[in-house]
Amino acid sequence: MKKKLILDVDTGVDDAQAIMVALADPNVEILGITCCHGNTPLENVLKNTLRVLKVCDRLDIPVYRGCDRPLKGKRRHAGSFHGKDGLGDVPDPDAPGLELLQKKRAFSAMIKIVEENPGEVTLVATAPLTNLALAVQAEPSFPEKLKALYIMGGNTESRGNTTVCGEFNFVADPEAAYMVLERYTCNTCIATWEFTCRNSLPWSFCDTWFAQDTDKARFMSKISSHTRKMIQTERYQKELVAGPGFNSCDTYALAAAIDGTLVTEKEQVAVSVELDGSYTRGMMVLDHMGLWGERRKAVILKKFDLEKFKQMLMNALK
C-alpha cells in the first residue's frame, strides 16, 4: 500500500528537491500540494511548484493556492538565499500557467483530502505553517484524522538563521507555528534547523548528484546555482552548526516521512513557540525539565542515515 502524502510548500530550491524525492519514490502517492507564502511571494511559489511538476512529468498532481501572508505581522521572504523568484532567478519561458491550479483553497483541500482518507495521510510541511493553522481553525478535528505530521522548522538551541534566535519557517508566522504545535494531536516529527545543519552532505556528493545526465539533474543544477553560492559565503558558513556542506533543509523532513528508518536518533519532548520576546519571537522552546506536565510531546529528529538519504537524492534526479 502506497504512503499517502500532502505536501505543504513554499517552493524554493530545497522544497523543489523535496518534491522531486517524493515523486521519484514508487511507494509514495502525493494526493495534493498546497502552497504558502515563505521563501518567495505566493505567486512565485505556485509557478515554481508547477515548474517542478512539469520537469517530472507529473502535472496531474493537484496544486492548491494557500495563504499569501502570515496570521499576524509582515511577510518575510528569502529572496537573497533562493533567488527573488525562489528558484535561483533562472526563469522558464515555457513554464506552466496558473490556470492549472485547483479552485479549492489550500486549507479546504487539506481537510477534504484527509476526510476522504482518514488515518492514512501524512502531512509534510516545509513552509511557514499558516495553511495548517487555518485548517485546524476551520475544522478542529482535522489533526486527529491525520496519520502523522512532519515539519521542517524551528530550532533546538536558539540558533537563528533569520533572527538571532529564530528559524525562517517559524519566524515567518510565529502564531501559526504556535497553534500547530498546540493543536495538532497526531504524531508530530520535527526536522529542526540545527538537525539539518548537522546532517549536511559534502560538496563532492552535490557535484555527483547534479552531474547525472538527465533533464531533472540539469534543472536542479541550474536552479541551485544561486543558493550554492550563498551557502558557500563566509557569512552563511558562520551560521552552520557543523562545518561546511550542502544542506537541503526541507528534504530531510520529507525523506523521514517516506522512510522512518532514516532516523537513527530522535528525542520526544514537549515544545512550544515564543510569541512575545523582543529577541526570541518565533523561537521554538523545549521543555527538557518536564515543567509542562502532560503537555503533548513532539519527536525531534537528531541523527540521519546519510547513505540512505544520498541514494534517495540520487534517485530523484534519474
- Specify whether the CB–CB gap between 7 and 34 falls below 8 A: yes
Closest by alpha carbon to 128, among 180, 165, 82, 92? Answer: 180
Closest by alpha carbon to 185, among 296, 78, 110? Answer: 296
pLDDT value of residue 228: 83
Measure the N-to-C terminal CA separation of the chain; round to a whole number of Å.
24
pLDDT value of residue 218: 97
Residue 228 φ then ψ, to 5°: -60, -40
The residue ranges of the chain whose pLDDT is under 70 are: 234-244
H or E stretch covering 138: helix 130-138
**Options 3.20.190.10, 3.10.20.740, 3.90.245.10, 3.50.50.60; CATH of 3-316:** 3.90.245.10
pLDDT value of residue 246: 85
Length of the chain: 318
pLDDT value of residue 238: 60
Q: Which of 8, 10, 15, 250 is catalytic?
A: 10
- pLDDT tens for 52-80 read 999 999 999 999 999 999 999 899 998 77
10 catalytic? Reply is: yes
**How many angstroms separate the CA atoms of 184 and 196, rounded?**
23
DSSP state of 201: B
pLDDT value of residue 241: 58
pLDDT value of residue 265: 98
Task: Tell me the pTM.
Answer: 0.96
- Specify whether the CB–CB gap between 109 and 102 falls below 8 A: yes
pLDDT value of residue 242: 54
